[in-house]
A and B are shown apart, each in its own frame.
Chain A
């Protein structure tokens, strides 16, 4: 059993470092270790990159890999939080409308932006898509929560059902926009919904990084309270926890964090579902270990998927969402099968 193995976390960190270096080194332009060092040195001294390799490293590859790592961590941690809150192994942000809402927001920009007033475009600049995607994600998730909430409790069943309805509404909105759009706009919509890191910039790294850091710190502090929810809300109350307050706070933080990440990079499926499950099989369900481990493994796996997507059809790029779905879906099915064997009271009906 790995749960008591003191080398587990060092091994995860080592894996992340290796993947990080691999992700930086390979791509349309190969970057050697010495380019990385000299590039960093020049950047810290405020100098311009000395050659094309350094420039690619500092301006493209590094922000891309870091953004990818943070996003992977966000999606995986979010999976742990949501699954823990709802005592259900198949919950992820995509199921309750967050991703579809973001997609609708982004599609509005792609198709209708030419009609926006110049002042708005001037003010938002390149952030127009992320801003509307963020608004879409927050709005659709909040609508799902408020409809699903009844008698002050949020039941998982109604949340999933309302989520399905919300996904359908957003999807029809996206499809309608795509239908009326020109070909290039429709292509932008499709690409956005597959998740993509090719537009990564340092600004995005900073924004997503801050959101992630704040939510990670707060949710790690909640890990003990989250554990008590494993026993059910009633038992959590007897252990001194207020389950409704806990749910509300975590859901809000989680939705903000996921919306920020999705707004910049698009929809990436299955990460939030699979990483927590893989880790549960390895180190158990204690959130004190599960949360930091998900952060590290989610990070490493998404960097892997993105790098793979850059290399497999190089010089063309395969969207990261295609890779995660292609590999993630079969794993998801295997997990569902496994879970059927373990199906017990307290799952769906909790």
Chain B
């Protein structure tokens, strides 16, 4: 389980987050939504350990993040950021292998190589293995990065959970990959994983999420299951957009229609 307690964070006197307390359960697909500048990415950077100067506490399995060594955390927590770029050319398989770096000291062992091959197969990247990452399209890069992140937390830790955080993972994916990606992630969540994604598309979120968390101006304004929290009032309050909510006749999930 991942828990944040009273997280506050400012940059140059501008308050980005105000007293955000939330808890994210393993086995569920948690999604964080909010308008631009609502503090979503900062929130992710704080609970993932990238930003370490903030007020409040972050707990991984009841252990404070500040008491966990970076190297140890990297073995069970993986983060997919928005479109990381490489400064020099690397092969796709070399990028995926980077996910295993926290697990070996100098050279990858058989297990690391096996994990990478398994992940590459799973993500349908076998024909890409030897390609230069810099020559891939945005969507292809996204899939390679997801493979890298998956290989980082492929095996279950001996105790506790795995943690996977995704910052707007669907950015440059086409529709079929968006759904494939979310299904893949949802399956992963079922296997002892605390899964948190920052999302933009409310309808995709409603379809796949178990819990939604809405941020507005740095405050957590509402959270719960899509059925419980999605109302026209909430959409108006958070995004300042008029919307109606109906039942999606195909999935049975809430469907937001913007007027």
A residues with a Cβ closer than 8 A to B are 1, 3, 83-84, 87-89, 221, 224, 227-232, 234-235, 237-242, 280, 284-286, 288, 342, 344-347, 350
Contacts and interface: CB of A to CB of B under 8 A. Distances in A.
A285 B81 CA distance: 22
A234 B130 CA distance: 25
B101 A239 contact: yes
A345 B98 CA distance: 20
A179 to B, nearest CB: 42
Given A238-B74, A239-B101, A242-B70, A346 B79 contact: no
6 contacts: A237-B50, A240-B73, A240-B74, A284-B90, A284-B94, A345-B83
Given A234-B81, A284-B94, A240 B88 contact: no
Contacts of A87: 87-88
Contacts of A89: 87-88
A310 B102 CA distance: 49
B84 interface: yes
Contacts of B89: 280, 284-285, 342
Nearest to B100: A239
Nearest to B90: A285
User: How many B residues touch the partner, as a band?
Assistant: 20 to 34
A227 B101 contact: yes
Interface of B: 45, 48-50, 70-75, 77-79, 81, 83-91, 94-95, 98-99, 101-102, 105-106, 130, 134, 152
A286 B130 CA distance: 14
A240 B87 contact: no
Given A284-B90, A285-B89, A346-B85, A227 B98 contact: yes
A350 B151 CA distance: 25
Given A239-B102, A285-B89, A285-B90, A232 B84 contact: yes
Given A235-B84, A237-B49, 4 more contacts: A87-B88, A284-B91, A285-B88, A346-B86
A155 to B, nearest CB: 14
Contacts of B83: 345
A240 B71 contact: yes
Given A285-B89, A346-B86, A238 B98 contact: no
A1 B90 CA distance: 13
A342 B133 CA distance: 12
Contacts of B48: 238
Given A231-B86, A284-B91, A237 B81 contact: no
